[in-house]
Amino acid sequence: MYRHFSRWLVMIWAALALPACAHGQALEMTPAPETGQHPQAALDAGGYRYQLFLPRGAESDTQGWPLMIFLHGSGERGDDIDKVKVHGPPKHADADSDFPFILISPLLPAEEDWDLAKLDRILDHAVRTLPVDPDRIYLTGLSRGGHATWRWAAAQPERFAAIAPVAGRGDPATACALKDLPVWTFHGDRDDVVPPEGSFAMARAIRGCGGRISRLTIYPDLGHNAWDPAYADPALYLWLLAHRRGE
């Protein structure tokens, strides 16, 4: 299955993920990051450590690459930075140096919930120091990270080109903030950890606000682990890369 996934990603890379034209934004003078996926220190006291993946070629570019932020679930919390790579995009990036995004995957300490201010600082730093196209920033997360994906996007929809919450629960009261943001959400219909109504409610609320660009995928006969099929599907990455901020 992974060989098929990798082949699709190479096709996506060729079609959509080539660097965009420079926007004229100068990068801070920092040491050149390494190609591949490597752990990074927290930016400040109390901040999150994170895994940074840089595709081949991006280390010598000045800007223009799509950036994906991935937020893991409760099971990966703690002190082990390698656990971030157990599921989802960092798992795939670790196996394929042609994964077509710069990828940032923060680590949440044990017993904590995602702090949007800390995530903001990581994203701000990435835009200043990495060859990122600011109009192609994508947000995704699973379970607890799916909850935070909904929260962060609703708080700052202008930051992202598209989002993909997986097995997460949003607050329908915030849905109108997302009506113009492309959203593709995923859930298992037998999820007894985060019931799928959490995704149904957000989809209904976004539509109720006039949003017409959201998508919802419900996997039949599947429990909480909607992330394996969602992140193994090349269609998700193709869909993300098809969107630019403000379109």
Residues 88-108: tens digit of each pLDDT: 999 999 998 889 999 999 999
Residue 21 covered by a domain: no
Distance in angstroms (rounded) separating the CA atoms of residues 152 and 108: 15
- Asked whether residue 22 is domain-assigned, the answer is no
pLDDT at res. 160: 98
Residue 68 lies in a domain: yes
| Nearest-10 Cα torsion for 107, 111, 115, 119 | 0
How far apart are the C-alpha atoms of 192 and 187, rounded to whole Å?
11
Q: What is the pLDDT of residues 215-225, one digit of tens each?
A: 999 999 999 99
- Is 20 within the bounds of a domain? no
Q: How many domains does the chain have?
A: 1
Q: Specify which residues 102 forms β-bridges with.
A: 67
pLDDT of residue 97: 84
Residue 38 CA, distance from chain mean position: 17
What is the CATH classification number for the domain harbouring 67?
3.40.50.1820
By the 8 A CB rule, do 104 and 88 touch? no
Global pTM reads 0.89
Q: What is the DSSP string of the chain?
A: -HHHHHHHHHHHHHHH-SPPPP-SPPPP--PPPPSEEEEE--SSTT---EEEEE-TTGGG--S-EEEEEEE--GGG-SS-GGGGGSSHHHHHHHH-TT-SSEEEEE-PPTT----HHHHHHHHHHHHHHS-EEEEEEEEEEETHHHHHHHHHHHH-GGG-SEEEEES----GGGGGGGTTS-EEEEEETT-SSS-THHHHHHHHHHHHTT--SEEEEEETT--S--HHHHHH-HHHHHHHHT--TT-
pLDDT recorded at residue 228: 97
Does residue 49 lie within any of the structural domains? yes
pLDDT of residue 16: 52
- The pLDDT value recorded for residue 28 is 53
For residues 151-167, one letter each, b for 16 or more C-beta atoms within 10 angstroms of the residue's C-beta and e for the rest, the string is bbbbeebebbbbbbbbb
Which residue ranges in the chain fall short of pLDDT 50? 1-4, 8, 11, 14-15, 17, 21-24, 26, 29
Is the residue at 187 inside a domain? yes
Q: What distances in angstroms separate CA 66 from CA 113, 125, 200, 238, 242, one per listed residue?
A: 26, 15, 29, 12, 11
Within a domain: residue 78? Answer: yes
**pLDDT score at 242:** 96
Structure confidence at residue 98 (pLDDT): 87
Specify if 28 maps to a domain. no
Give the neighbor-by-neighbor strand order of the sheet with 162-166: 36-40, 50-54, 102-106, 65-71, 132-142, 162-166, 183-188, 214-219
> Structural domain of residue 181, as residue ranges?
2-13+34-241
Please report the pLDDT score of residue 13 as a whole number: 52
Residue-wise pLDDT tens digits, 167-186: 999 999 999 999 999 999 99
